[in-house]
Homo-oligomer: A and B are copies of this chain.
Amino acid sequence: MSFREELRSRRFWRSVLAELVGSLVLVAVILGASAPGQEDEVPALMQVAVAAGFSAVSLIHCFGEISGAQVNPAVTLAFLCTRKLDFLQVVSYLLAQCLGAVIGSGIIYMSLPVKSASRHLVNMINKDGNAGQALAMEIFATFQLVFTIFAVDDHRRREVREPGSLAIALSLTAGIMASGKFSGGSLNPARSLGPAIITGFWEHHWVYWIGPILGAVLGGISYEFFFASSASQEKLIA
C-alpha cells in the first residue's frame, strides 16, 4: 500500500486511535496511582508498579489485535529497528502516544485536589544519585520488558498456549519495582513526557527518552539476533 492509500484506510486510523486511547489510559492509571493521599503521604512504589502492570493486561486485550498495544514510544522504535513497522506507522504511533499521554496527565492534574502534589507525578532521579545511575536502570528495566514483548510475539506465531499478555504486563510491573528507587521507574518516554509538559518540570528529562529507547532497541535486537525461532529454525528441527 502506498503512503496515500494507507492514510485513507480506516484500519490505519483505528490503530492510531488505539495507541492514543491506550497511552491515555495507561498514563492516567499510573499517575492516579502515584497521587499522594490526604496528608501528602506518597503511595508505595508497589502500588504504582502493580497498577501499571494490571492496566497493561487489559490494554493488551483491548488493543493487542488492533495496533499491538505498544502504548510506549520506546517499544515502537524497537519495532522500527527490527523492521516490523514501516516509517509512516511509527511516526503516527509516536505522535498518538505522546498526545494520549499529555491528555491523560491533564485529566489527572485537573482532578488533583492540591496542585503542589503534582510534583509526585513527575519521574525524578534519586536525590543522592546521578543521572548516569538512573539511565542505567531505565536501560535495564526497558531491556527486559521489550525482550519479553519480542519473545511473546515470537511464540504467538508458533501457537504457544501460555498467556503471553500476562508475561508482558508483569514484566512491566517487575521493571518499575526494580528501577523505581533509582529513576522513578518510567520505562516509557510518553509516561514521563506527559507530567513534564503539565508541570513544567524538565530536570533530567532526557534520561527518560535515552534510557528506555536504548534499552528497548537493545532488547529487541538481541532477541531477534540470538533467540528468535526464525534465527535457527533448522537447528530446532535437527
Footprint of B on A, CB under 8 Å? Answer: 9-11, 14, 17-18, 25, 28-29, 31-33, 35-38, 43-47, 49-51, 53-55, 57-58, 60-63, 65-66, 107, 110-114, 126-130, 133-134, 136-137, 140-141, 144, 147-148, 151-152, 155, 160-168, 170-171, 173-175, 177-182, 223, 226-227, 232, 235-236, 238
Contacts and interface: CB of A to CB of B under 8 A. Distances in A.
9 closest A-B pairs by beta carbon, nearest first, are A32-B178, A113-B129, A58-B171, A113-B128, A54-B170, A61-B167, A55-B174, A62-B151, A51-B177
Number of chain copies forming the complex = 4
B111 A51 contact: no
Contacts of A66: 227
A51 B174 contact: yes
Q: Is the interface of A mostly helix, strand, loop or mixed?
A: helix
A61 to B, nearest CB: 4
B165 A51 contact: no
A178 B54 contact: no
